[in-house]
Amino acid sequence: MLGKLAGWEDTIVALATPPGVGAIGVIRVSGPKAFAIVDQLFTAKNLGEQATHTLHVGLLKEGGEVLDEVVLALFRVPKSYTGEDVIEISSHGSPYILERVIQALLRGGARLAKAGEFTQRAFLNGRLDLAQAEAVADLIAANTAASARTALHTIRGGFSRELRELRERLISFSALIELELDFSQEDVEFADRTALYQLIGEAEGMTAALLASFRLGNVIRNGVSVAIVGKPNAGKSTLLNALLNENRAIVSEIAGTTRDTIEEILNINGVLFRLIDTAGLRTHTSDLIERIGVGRSLEKMEQADIVVYLFDVADDGMTIGAVRDELMAKAKPFLLVGNKVDVAPGASVRFPDELLISAKDGRQVDVLKQRLVDLVMQGAAAGDGTIVTNARHFHALQQVGVALATIRKGLDELLPGDLLALDIRVCLHWLGEITGEITTEDRLDYIFSKFCIGK
């Protein structure tokens, strides 16, 4: 853990609510002089005599001039977000009034907080570990139920608890192995190698599961792109409109109406999908603009996380089968969707993974939405299990996996205790990188600089 950082003893202030006009704006003050600085402006009572976790209504004044009537929320060390004395000032939401209050606090001895400095102090004061602190930023940025649920699970310590338990067990084994070195002449064994094998196996399983969850975590955090592709006039634009429940794309009986890609965002069951309506795929067209659109469609198809191949149910089954085989060969997740059952009521599925719909009248469109969710989630987000969404955590977990494999190899080869203990320390290092037991000031500054001001 780090020592005191530059500016650590300062009292900081920042607007904690978004800038702009609103009913209320909240100004957050944290640090050793928080009570003394605000008390200079608050005339209703002596804040130094008030209990923690209490609210107080009164006027803020500077030099006899009233700044605003406010509500103060008091949080005394250590029971606050930052682990320091904190006062949150709920003021009227005029940008002019809020700026006047902040300037008065600055003249009283506070300084403006840097981006993420409140959460950085919470980490340095032991209120949060680093994984929890990073999840705060994820929660603020969450735009779906799934992303909010994942961030809250980490903030509540679910991810950290799993890592902490593993780390403590490895530390225990490492201590016993190093103790053996003090009795090397007696040739005694304090660390049960069989139990260590079992622990490594459990740790490898947990690490593999966390690494595997990163694909889903990336989708939850950033959304999943879905390219709707198919021949001209297959009904791609009609399907986009049906999925969105609005007329976003131009629909026409004329083949080649969509000349460029159209992208829209859709939230389905808490998962964010970026739907891409593409130009119809045909190899021969004399229209230059349409040819460019087809090229972009192929490019979007390659880049997409999921491909929805839409076709007319009257189309030749061999052609559809060839496309299906190509998508399977690319290992690209896809859905095979036959459209226009409204004009071909006798149509039947020709492939086990085929879905028949009518984009025009919305038939089976809800089933298509659920299949999109199922394809992404694949049951992995059920319950409150940990899902890795942070690339830094993913990289560290990869190194944990390598270190665990090295420990297992050392056990197989009957390595002496000192070398085995060294391998365990490497694993402990990477686990500590995730939760912040091992970090540097530069790393912290980089991580917290990505937070918003006031958090």
pLDDT per residue as tens digits for the range 128-176: 888 888 888 888 877 777 778 778 878 887 788 888 888 888 888 777 7
Contact 358, 339 (CB under 8 A): yes
C-alpha span between 82 and 13 (Å, rounded): 12
**Is the previous residue joined to 78 through a cis bond, with omega within 30 degrees of 0?**
yes
Q: What is the pLDDT of residue 293?
A: 38
Q: What is the pLDDT of residue 247?
A: 59
Q: What is the pLDDT of residue 181?
A: 63
User: Is 184's pLDDT higher than 80?
Assistant: no
**Span 166-181, pLDDT tens digits:** 888 888 877 777 676 6
Percentage of the chain surpassing pLDDT 90? 25
Q: What is the pLDDT of residue 261?
A: 61
User: Is 82's pLDDT higher than 70?
Assistant: yes
Average pLDDT over residues 235-253: 70
C-alpha span between 305 and 319 (Å, rounded): 23
The amino acid that residue 295 corresponds to is G
Q: What is the pLDDT of residue 183?
A: 57
Following DSSP, what letter does each residue of 24-48 receive, concatenated? EEEEEEESTTHHHHHHTTB-SS-GG
C-alpha span between 444 and 393 (Å, rounded): 14
C-alpha span between 372 and 334 (Å, rounded): 9
Q: What is the pLDDT of residue 6?
A: 61
Angle between helices 417-435 and 391-412 (to 10 degrees): 170
Average pLDDT over residues 209-233: 80
The torsion angle over the Cα atoms of residues 398, 402, 405 and 411, rounded to 10 degrees, is: -140
β partners of residue 238: none
The amino acid that residue 428 corresponds to is L
What DSSP state is assigned to residue 155? Answer: H
Q: What is the pLDDT of residue 285?
A: 40
CA 292 to chain centre: 35
Q: What is the pLDDT of residue 190?
A: 54
The amino acid that residue 24 corresponds to is I
CA 42 to chain centre: 40
User: Is 13's pLDDT higher than 60?
Assistant: yes
Average pLDDT over residues 54-77: 94
Q: How confident is the model at residue 5 (pLDDT cuts 50, 70, 90)?
A: low
Pairing of strands 271-277, 306-312: unpaired
Average pLDDT over residues 344-365: 85
User: Is 91's pLDDT higher than 60?
Assistant: yes
Place of tokens 């800038």: 19
Place of tokens 């139920």: 145
C-alpha span between 146 and 150 (Å, rounded): 6
β partners of residue 306: 226
Q: What is the pLDDT of residue 4?
A: 54
Secondary structure string (H, E, C) spanning 49-106:
HCCCCEEEEEEEEECCEEEEEEEEEEECCCCCCCCCCEEEEEEECCHHHHHHHHHHHH
Q: What is the pTM of this model?
A: 0.68
Q: How confident is the model at residue 381 (pLDDT cuts 50, 70, 90)?
A: very low
